[in-house]
Amino acid sequence: MNKKNKIKIVVNGKHLTVNLKYSLKNLIEKLKTSSDKIAIELNEEIVDKKKINKIFLKNKDKIEIVHFIGGG
């Protein structure tokens, strides 16, 4: 694989390498997560989930994907 065609991103604190022109939707699908159960931050900005197919990731992007867990 040519490294030029890859970018490095950080998802929930973990480093991942993905292809160029990789969209947020691609990422969510890869993680097998249902978009109606999560919220997404891209570089500390909340992302509109309806637009994730149009948002393409860049090198060093930081993504946070959260959901609800048990809590008091």
Residue numbers of the site for other proteins (CB under 8 A)?
11-14, 31-33, 36-41, 44, 46, 49, 64-72
Cα separation, 46 vs 14, whole angstroms: 19
The amino acid at 69: I
For residue 22, count other CB atoms closer than 10 A to its CB. Answer: 19
Please state, in angstroms and as integers, the Cα–Cα distance from residue 6 to each residue in 15, 21, 23, 50, following that order: 13, 9, 13, 25
Which CB sits closer to other proteins, 49 or 56?
49
Which CB sits closer to other proteins, 1 or 69?
69
CB of 3 vs other proteins, minimal distance in Å: 23
CB of 9 vs other proteins, minimal distance in Å: 12
CB of 10 vs other proteins, minimal distance in Å: 11
